[in-house]
Amino acid sequence: MASEGISRRTLLSGTVAAGVVTAVGVGAGSALAAPAGFYHPFTGYPITGTWQDHLNSGSLGGIDFGMGVGTNLPACGGGVVTNIPYNGTGGHTVTIQHDNGYRTQYMHLSQFLLGNGTRVAMGAVVGLSGGAVGAPGSGSSTGPHLHWHMINPSGTRINPLDFMGGGGGGGLPKTTTEQDGVPGPIMWKRAQNWLRIEQGYTGPIDGVPGVNTYAALQRGVRGYGYTGPIDGVMGPNSWAGVQRLASHWGYTGPIDGVMGPNSWRGFARFLNQDKYN
Ligand SMILES: [Zn+2]
């Protein structure tokens, strides 16, 4: 039966739709651990309003990302969720209180997914984007987008992209697996971010692959000759798909379903593309 940890999470997530409970539950122990940091969940979307654009229009600041209504909004870092419905011009707003005292706010949502007080891991989906003109949670938004800002411990609104460094670059470091052929947490975080962007993975970006990560990985290698089940159980056929992917990124060894250092190097070279930062 469920451990105490699972029971507690289920309790906290009591108002959540079934699919989302699964997403939050991924990573079990690590989901409740203190967050290691932050990442930029929206590198795949165009910036349609800069920080300066916001200041120029009298806002306290924020970054707008163009995305269709209903897009998954992953937490940029772990923390505790509070929903603020009809938050003035911001419309439906999710606040994530991070353990280091910083807060994140996502605005103009079309839908809340988690109950107040839910603890989430980095990468867990906390709501769905909105912003369509006149929709109930849109506030003053004039078109579908996400507005994102952060608030520092002294209450000042700050630009999340500056806070994370890189001035708008991504949040995940490159993995050294490309050099040493040894898979580790950074490689798996990048894999989870790839799968989030392209394969519908909604679990945490925690570098700890579980069944949901592996199921998404199996989906990801269907284009590389894998025809087996999407069951999250990696067998030789699943790994052979990963090797075929790696063969497009410099791997020249056998496609035998046995991952060695050279297989991991090719896979890591694929994952180290900037778009998966
Ligand atoms: Zn905005």
Q: How far apart are CA 158 and CA 55, in angstroms?
A: 12
Distance (angstroms) between ligand 1 centre and the Cα of 228 equals: 44
pLDDT confidence tier of residue 146, bands split at 50, 70 and 90 = very high
Closest CA to 26 of 200, 184, 204: 204
Percent of the chain surpassing pLDDT 70? 84
User: How many A from CA of 160 to the centre of ligand 1?
Assistant: 13
pTM for this entry: 0.54
- Beta sheet of 111-112, edge-to-edge order: 72-74, 125-128, 111-112
| Mean pLDDT to the nearest integer, 215-232 | 96
In angstroms, what is the span from residue 62 Cα to ligand 1's centroid?
Answer: 5
- Say which range, 18-27, 55-64, 97-106, 186-195, has the weakest mean pLDDT: 18-27
CA of residue 127 to ligand 1 center, whole Å: 17
Mean of the pLDDT values across residues 251-258?
97
Distance from Cα 61 to the centre of ligand 1, integer Å: 7
Q: Is the pLDDT of residue 199 over 50?
A: yes
Report CA(64)–ligand 1 centroid distance (Å): 5
Q: What separation in Å is there between the alpha carbon of 10 and the centre of ligand 1?
A: 33
* CA 170 / ligand 1 centre spacing (Å): 20
Q: What is the pLDDT of residues 30-86, one digit of tens each?
A: 222 223 478 888 877 888 888 888 999 999 999 999 999 999 999 999 999 999 999
pLDDT class of 24 with cuts at 50, 70, 90: very low
Question: What's the gap in Å between 58 CA and the centre of ligand 1?
Answer: 11
β-pairing verdict for 79-84 and 119-120: antiparallel
pLDDT at 166 over 50: no
How many A from CA of 147 to the centre of ligand 1? 4
CA of 188 to the centre of ligand 1 (A): 32
CA 54 – ligand 1 centroid, Å: 6
Cβ 69 vs Cβ 132: under 8 Å = yes
- Per-residue confidence (pLDDT) for residue 112, from 0 to 100: 98
**The tokens of 143 are what?**
């078109």
The pLDDT of residue 163 is 63
Averaged pLDDT of the chain: 84
Distance 183 CA to ligand 1 centre (A): 38
- Tell me how crowded residue 242 is: count the other CB atoms within 10 A of its CB: 26
> Measured in angstroms, how far is the CA atom of residue 41 from the centroid of ligand 1?
16
d(C-alpha 192, C-alpha 186), whole Å: 10
CA–centroid distance, residue 240 to ligand 1 (Å): 44
